[in-house]
Amino acid sequence: MNINTMTVDEARSLVQSREITAHALAEAHYSQIESRDETIGSFLTLTKERALAQAQRIDRLAEKGDPLPPLAGVPVGIKDVLMTRGERTTAGSSFLEKFIAPYDATAVAKLEAAGAVCLGKLNCDEFAMGSSNENSAFHPVRNPRDTTRVPGGSSGGSAAAVAAGFAVATLGSDTGGSIRQPAAFCGVVGLLPTYGRVSRYGLIAFASSLDHVGPFARTVKDSATLLEVIAGRDPRDSTSADVPVANYASECGRDVKGLRIGIPEEYFGEGLDPEIRQAIERRIDALRKAGCEIVSVSLPHTEYAIPVYYIVATAEASANLARFDGVRYTTRSSQSKTLADMYRRSRDEGFGAEVKRRILLGTYALSAGYYDAYYLKAQQVRTLLTRDFQNAFTSVDAIVTPVTPTVAFKLGEKTNDPVAMYLNDIYTVTANLVGVPGISLPCGNNHEGLPIGIQILGKHFDEATVIRLAHAMEQDQL
Amino acid sequence: MKVTDKDVAYVADLANLELTPDESTRMVADLNSILSHIDKLNQLDTSNVEPLAEVVSAFASAERKGSDKFAYAQRPDVLVPGLSREAALSNAPDTDGTCFKVPKVIER
């Protein structure tokens, strides 16, 4: 048994066959976390009591020889923007340092109902705002592949925990690339479900028209298994879609022959690291050899995606974060004598610099005199971006692109330049603006041994094709 | 420079944020650098383009009209238990056991 490479299927069958108890498997992961997470910094809170109680429930089922649920005994971690009842849930913010979630997020409840053992809560950029995990109010996360480098963000802890052998799979959230980019930087698989595919009930909202919940895993099949568990309509999230959940894991191994793959020229232009370009082109060649039809497509408004994203996301964030006012959520400045004072001082003390920057930008874009020039304009260009994808998907089944323009950068390298940091999301934000599903999976290493990611984007609710292709690519790599 | 100290102070006031003079200087510089990148959007003529606020309605039934179109977002109109008062108040900095307490709103 190798904990560092263990898959969901392996963990489950070891528990089912009683070669190891779920309890011992959880303990083995905790001892890895205790010995090595001081260096990585992926966990903010360990939920040991809850995890071991769940593990014992699974072990009792296994003793009886009953068939086990799909994630029985699988040790997982949860990004700290998802509510876990009775456990601390901070969103990486000092505003919520002492916040105890009063209920479970639907995605977390579904994982546990499927037998998963939630080991703890994972570090992230404050309120999921960031591309390097350096905006966590507590401590940064270091990339397990090279601890001088960032793991990506905002779900940096979720990616690092899977890469470091601390959890077999994790949950993250993706508003502009926050699952796919850290997956690429850490060399793991990150899946972005279609907007509405997975309930956001219990997700601390950043930008409601862009937020998605999705899994990190070591293999495409594992990410498919997790998606199957967490997907589906939830009456408590009116934006969750009533679309049947497919048997995603069964897509793994299906033939990709005849699939039409779009390659958008705009994603291979200036700024893309030549080693990443070569790695992706090799993979595209392999798809061609496997019988896929490679088609050149154009997504002409790509260069406008970052400006649109940083208006839409910050405008929505400025509204969503208004709820942090000193009344309900733990933090209230002791300095405040009047109500207005309380709002301002509590927010001043509770929020970090990037959160304030985004609230200011969003408020500016929505303010009288600027609404049409910025917010409305961004929404109109969002329509153009959506049309780009609709047009491309009339001739192809999926689109293949890089995930990031560079491999993982060094800690501190971009913290003083917000625009340089934002441009890191150039290949990922459009999927959120358009609402399509995507996956980021490992595509080899660069000359320094740092992981390179490749992205597959699909049609709305066609995660099946994305997974099928991703699995074929993954096999080709082995 | 498009955004001035005064603009940042005005927006910070709208957003109920308090900024130190240092923070304010930094925000003026950052917002200007971000907005100059965002100004790229003006290269596009969008006079005949509908704005898109969210993508869910695109999945709504095309045959249905009006609010029926959004039937997927509706639930039966029946009472279901919500969060208990105790749970809802559990993270509040100050309560009287029934309500959230805040500093006096009206000054004499």
SS3 readout for A344-396: HHHHHHHCCHHHHHHHHHHHHHHCCCCHHHHHHHHHHHHHHHHHHHHHHHHHC
Residue written as tokens 């997907």?
A231
Catalytic residue, chosen from A42, A131, A136, A154, is A154
- Check CB contact of A331 with chain B, cutoff 8 Å: yes
Query: pLDDT higher for B56 or A374?
Result: A374
Which pLDDT score is estimated for A476?
78
* For range B11-31, the mean pLDDT: 95
Nearest to A359 among B15, B46, B49 (CB): B15
Q: Which of residues 106-165 of A touch B (CB under 8 A)?
A: none
B15-23: average pLDDT: 93
Res. B61 pLDDT band, cuts 50 70 90: low
| Neighbouring-strand partners of residue B96 | none
Rounded to 10 degrees, what is the CA torsion of A193, A197, A198, A203? 90
> Which candidate, A439, A455, A432, places its Cα nearest to that of A195?
A432
DSSP state of A143: B
Look at the alpha carbons of A93, A97, A102, A103 in this order and tell me if their dihedral is positive or negative.
positive
Compute and round to an integer the Cα radius of gyration of chain A.
21
Burial-class residue A138 by CB neighbours within 10 Å (0-12, 13-18, 19+): middle
Cα–Cα nearest to A431, from A169, A156, A179: A179
Is A61 within a domain? yes
What confidence score (pLDDT) does residue B1 get? 62
Q: Alpha-carbon distance A121 to A167, whole Å?
A: 11
Residue A66 belongs to a domain: yes
C-alpha A235/C-alpha A241 separation (Å) is 10
Give the list of residues 6+ apart from residue A409 with CB closer than 8 angstroms, or none: A132, A149, A150, A424
Tokens of A328: 């309900």
pLDDT tens figures, B69-98: 777 777 788 998 889 999 999 999 999 999
Domain count, chain A: 1
CA angle A443, A310, A243 (to 5 degrees): 65
- By the 8 A CB rule, do A408 and A152 touch? yes
Catalytic residue among A132, A136, A173, A178: A178
pLDDT for A242 = 86
Residue pair A363/A318 in contact by the 8 Å Cβ criterion: yes
What is the pLDDT, as a whole number, of residue A319?
A: 97
Q: Where are the alpha helices (DSSP H) in A176-256?
A: 180-186, 220-230
| pTM of the full structure | 0.97
* A243 lies within 8 A of chain B by CB: yes
Residue A319, SS3 per DSSP: helix
First to last CA, chain B: 43
A208 carries an active-site annotation: no
* pLDDT given at position B108: 66
pLDDT string in tens for chain A (478-residue length): 899 999 999 999 999 999 999 999 999 999 999 999 999 999 999 999 999 999 999 999 999 998 899 999 999 999 999 999 999 999 999 999 999 999 999 999 999 999 999 999 999 999 999 999 999 999 999 999 999 999 999 999 999 999 999 999 999 999 999 999 999 999 999 999 999 999 999 999 999 999 999 999 999 999 999 999 999 999 999 999 889 999 999 999 999 999 999 999 999 998 999 999 999 999 999 999 999 999 999 999 999 999 999 999 999 999 999 999 999 999 999 888 899 999 999 999 999 999 999 999 999 999 989 999 999 999 999 999 999 999 999 999 999 999 999 999 999 999 989 998 999 999 999 999 999 999 999 999 999 999 999 999 999 999 999 999 999 999 976 4
Choose among A308, A361, A435: nearest Cβ to B31. A361
- A418 belongs to a structural domain: no
The domain containing residue A56 runs over which residues? 8-251
Residues of A (5-34) whose Cβ lies below 8 Å from B: none
Closest-approach residue (CA) in chain A for B93: A330
Tell me the CATH number at A244. Answer: 3.90.1300.10
| Other CB atoms within 10 Å distance of the CB of residue B77 | 5
In a domain, A314, yes or no: no
- Cα distance from A170 to chain B (closest Cα, Å)? 26
Nearest CA to A354 out of A119, A93, A165 is that of A93
Per the annotation, the verdict on A410 as an active-site residue is: no
The helices-and-strands tally (H runs, E runs) of chain A is: 15, 11
Task: Using the structure block, give the residue that is written with the tokens 């009591």.
Answer: A49
Contact status, residue A21 vs residue A139, Cβ threshold 8 Å: no
d(CA A61, CA A90): 33
What's the pLDDT score for residue A126? Answer: 98
Contact criterion met (CB < 8 Å) for A360 and B73: no
The CATH-assigned architecture of domain B5-43 is: Orthogonal Bundle (1.10)
> What's the confidence (pLDDT) of residue A478?
44
Residue B63 C-alpha, separation from nearest chain A C-alpha, in angstroms: 16
Q: If 0-12 CB within 10 Å is exposed, 13-18 middle and 19+ buried, where does residue A63 land?
A: exposed
For residues A412 and A421, the answer to whether their CB atoms sit within 8 Å is no
In the Cβ-directed half-sphere of A189, how many Cα atoms lie within 13 Å? Answer: 27
Contacts of A318 in chain B (CB under 8 A): 15
Cis peptide, bond prior to residue A173, ω within 30 of zero: no
What DSSP element (H or E) covers B9?
helix B5-14
Cα(A337)–Cα(B22) distance, rounded to whole angstroms? 25
Q: Is A154 a catalytic residue?
A: yes
Alpha carbon A61 to its chain centroid, in Å, reads: 31
Interface test with chain B among A380, A384, A385, A425, by most B beta carbons within 10 Å: A380
Find the CB nearest B52 among A330, A347, A382.
A382
pLDDT at B63: 72
Euclidean distance between CA atoms A328 and A335, whole angstroms: 17
Question: Angle A242-A243-A246 (CA atoms, 0-180°, nearest 5)?
Answer: 140
Q: Residue A394 CB: number of other CB atoms within 10 A?
A: 8
Q: Interior CA angle at B106 toward B104 and B108, to 5°?
A: 105
Give Cβ neighbours of residue A231 (< 8 Å, ≥ 6 apart): A193, A197, A198, A245
Query: In three state form, how does the secondary structure of A74-91 look?
Result: CEEEEECCECCCCCECCC
The predicted structure's pLDDT at residue B76? 84
Residue in the block written with tokens 């507590």: A138
Residue A196 touches chain B, beta carbons under 8 Å: yes
